[in-house]
Structure 1
Amino acid sequence: MNIVFLDAGTVVLDGDVELSGLEALGRFTPYDNTQLEDVVERAADAEVIISNKVLISREAIEKLPKLKFIAVSATGYNNVDIVAARERGIGVSNVPGYSTDSVAQQVFAAILQHATHLAEYAADVERGEWEKSEIYTILRYRCFELRGKKLGIIGFGDIGQAVGELGLAFGMQVLPYRRGAIADARFQRAELDTVIQESDFLSIHCPLTPDTKDLLNKDSLKRMKPSAFLINTARGGIVNEADLVEALKAGVIAGAAVDVLSAEPPRGNPLSAPGIPNLILTPHTAWAALEARQRLMLGVQSNIEAYARGEQSNIVNPA
């Protein structure tokens, strides 16, 4: 079996994720990254393609007669034309659930940073501010405890629930919103307007759909508390980015942590401009804890092994 990994550099950092299991399946060729125009050339002899974010278009699929299986090394698979793959009888698999804990802990890293101003105080010390202080400390930033604060969660799947569980551990009041019922008795479903208007922290965990595009916009941001803090680790298009910049500059909300943008990497995105107050912007890394990346590649390997046995595992385009 000939396996080509088009963008291994999006998953492996200095060899920290073991790929020997894939090497054992046949001829294995990893590339750090692959430009769109190089996909067909690099995958010309591939029976299996692994891709995290490299686009596998209809045009590419039609030019790869040896291709039999596409293993997406992610949960989302919108980089693959699954209709064109189905027409060719090519299975497409994904890996759900591998990054739940990684994302949840980054949500709380942002929450705790906003509550404690840890980075600002550390920077003050680095600049020598503590040494110049006339008292034993520096009391410059208003910090607060999480206990009793309201944590709103829009989208209450595995990641949303993991965030909710961390909220309970900190003594927070969790306000989860999802369209369907919530089976876990620890959590009581709240209405969307309630979540937006009452949350001290609002964390987004729903998929990007026509219904959720620009869900957080100028109007909904104005309905949030002025002291509220917004966290988006889901998809960029759920929050209107220009509206969020305006809200942060005007003090409509107290701050935001954003890990995902509508186009990545950003090219002229308003959120990537310098000097936006009270914004923590990270480069789509919430998923990327070492353990999560290890689980991801084990999941990819398992999906390919199932294909080799003539079985289906996490197939997203069933015939």
Structure 2
Amino acid sequence: MEVLITEFIDESALSLFDEAGVTYAYKPEAWQGFSFDEKALASLKAIIVRNKTRVGADLLNQCPQLQVIGRLGVGLDNIDVAAAKKRGVSVVSARNANAISVAEYVIAAMLAVVRRLREADEHVTEGGWDRHTFTGLELYGKTLGLIGCGEIAQRLALRAKSLGMNVIGHDPYVAPYDFAPSELKMQLRSLDEVLERADFVSLHVPLTEGTRHLIDYKRLKQMKPSAYLINTSRGGVIQEEHLRQALQEGRLAGAVLDVLEEEPPHRDHPLLGLKGVLVTPHIAGLTVESQARVARLVIGEVLHELQGDPSICRV
């Protein structure tokens, strides 16, 4: 066995290994605990994971021949990148392969909350037909605030503008003449101004020590009472107890959360079932099309690394 895949993958892409003559083991539940013998891990040259498998120094020590870690996504908080690099192990991610899916999810989330689709469906299912109560809002003319202006945010901005929305963003790593401000005409503003002006705040930052609990009670208080918070990045970017408090106090209209600090959450999680909150099971980047792209990209780049060609998707 040269390659181990520990979480689900679009199986149509596995033929790339066969074509390259590379042996692999597809164990989509292996993230729950490695049960492979020392001999199997000792011969491992690549491991492909999603977001549940923890790849740290302990696992790296069991795989002395490991050359590359493939990440079926873009978040890296489950991989000790520093430890991997210290061992000379490359890390490759599915750079931009699911960006369209995430951007479309945010558009869908905004439409769902302003048109109150879930509540309207429940109302009709229960025998009602009160059209006045479900008079909604348009996205046209509203302001979308982006925290983080990378690839996903840029694709989202393009789609939001086509709906007639105003787009502002905050990203300390984006310069005035980068693509987002110069070509997309995205207005770069301070974090405070984005929170204060936006009708929808969408988070697109990695989880780091600098972004953990970036959105806390103080920042939530800066948002409009009519605004919505949307998170497709990582759960730890929001202080969840502070969000619960702000929502119950009416400091913002609602939130759409595709990610939580603990996944899956306990059934008594304080945000589940809370009025104004939609929670989905980390699916923003999961579409049939994106998963095919992610799988083929990551496997292809892992094969490049195994063949001695540096991947264009190296972290």
Structure-1-length-normalised TM-score: 0.88
In 1, Cα distance between equivalents of 2:228 and 2:141 = 15
1:47 aligns with 2:45: yes
Contact 1:207 1:235 in 2 (8 A): yes
Deviation string for 1:82-123 (max 9, x for gaps)? 333334332222221111110011111110011111222222
Alpha-carbon spacing, 1:262–1:67, altered in 2? closer, same or farther (3 Å): same
Are the aligned partners of 2:75 and 2:206 in contact in 1 as well (CA < 8 Å)? no
Q: Please say if residues 43 and 49 of structure 1, whose CA atoms lie closer than 8 Å, have aligned partners that are also in contact.
A: no
Segments of 5+ residues of structure 1 without an aligned counterpart are 131-136
Q: Which residue of structure 1 lines up, in the alignment, with residue 159 of structure 2?
A: 166
CA drift of 1:50 comes to 1.2
| Conserved? CA contact 2:48–2:72, under 8 Å | yes
Change (3 A) 1:268 1:241: farther
Question: CA separation of 1:215/1:87 partners in 2, compared to 1, >3 Å: closer, same or farther?
Answer: closer
The alpha carbon displacement at 1:43 in A equals 3.5
Cross-structure match for 1:141: 134
Residue number in structure 2 paired with 1:127? 126
Tell me how far apart the structure 1 counterparts of residues 222 and 67 of structure 2 sit (CA, whole Å). 50
How do 1:27-106 and structure 2 match up within 5 A? 27-35=23-31, 37-38=33-34, 40-41=36-37, 43-53=41-51, 54-106=53-105
SS state at 1:151 partner: strand
> Deviations along 1:31-59, whole A, 9 cap, x unmatched?
12214641653644322211113112212
Residue in structure 2 matched with residue 183 of structure 1 by the alignment:
182
- Between the aligned partners of 2:201 and 2:82, the Cα distance in structure 1 is 36
1:274-313 equivalence runs, <5 A: 275-313=273-311
Residues 39 and 60 in structure 1, CA contact (< 8 A), matched pair in contact too: no
Change in CA separation of 1:215 and 1:68 when aligned onto 2, cut-off 3 Å: closer
Secondary structure, counterpart of 1:140 in structure 2: helix
1:24 aligns with 2:19: yes
Task: Please tell me the residue identity of whatever aligns with 1:113.
Answer: A
Moved more, 224-233 or 205-214: 205-214
1:175–1:265 Cα change, 3 Å: same
Question: Percent identity between the aligned chains?
Answer: 32
String of CA shifts for 1:1-58, please: whole Å, max 9, x gaps: 7221111x2x34xx5x542113333222101221464165364432221111311221
Deviation at 1:251, TM superposition (A): 1.3
Question: Is 1:3–2:3 an aligned residue pair?
Answer: yes
Task: Provide the secondary structure at the position in 1 that maps to 2:202.
Answer: strand
My pick for the range that moved more, 233-242 or 27-36, is: 27-36
**Distance in 2 between residues matched to 1:123 and 1:147, nearest whole Å:** 26
Unmatched segments (≥5 aa) in structure 2: 176-180
The answer to whether the Cα contact below 8 Å between 1:40 and 1:64 also exists between their aligned partners in 2 is: no
- Distance in 2 (CA, whole Å) between partners of 1:235 and 1:161 is 18
Q: Secondary structure at the match of 2:221?
A: helix
Q: Which residue of 2 aligns with 1:134?
A: none
64-73 vs 294-303, which deviates more?
64-73
SS of residue matched to 2:132 = coil
One-letter amino acid of the structure 2 residue matched with residue 169 of structure 1? S
Task: Call closer, same or farther: CA 1:88–1:146 in 2, change over 3 Å.
Answer: closer
Instruction: Give 3-state SS (helix, strand or coil) of 1:38's partner.
Output: coil
Contact 2:67 2:306 in 1 (8 A): no
Aligned partners of 1:177 and 1:191 also within 8 Å = yes
SS in 1 for 2:48: strand
Range with greater deviation from structure 2 (156-165 or 20-29): 20-29
Q: 1:175 to 1:153 in 2, by over 3 A?
A: same
Alpha carbons 1:3, 1:50 under 8 Å: kept: yes
Q: Quick check: 1:107–1:163 contact (8 Å CA) kept in 2?
A: yes
Q: CA deviation at 1:178?
A: 1.6
- CA deviations 1:283-310 (Å, max 9, x no partner) are 1110111111111111112212212331
Aligned length in residues: 304
The residue aligned with 2:178 is: none
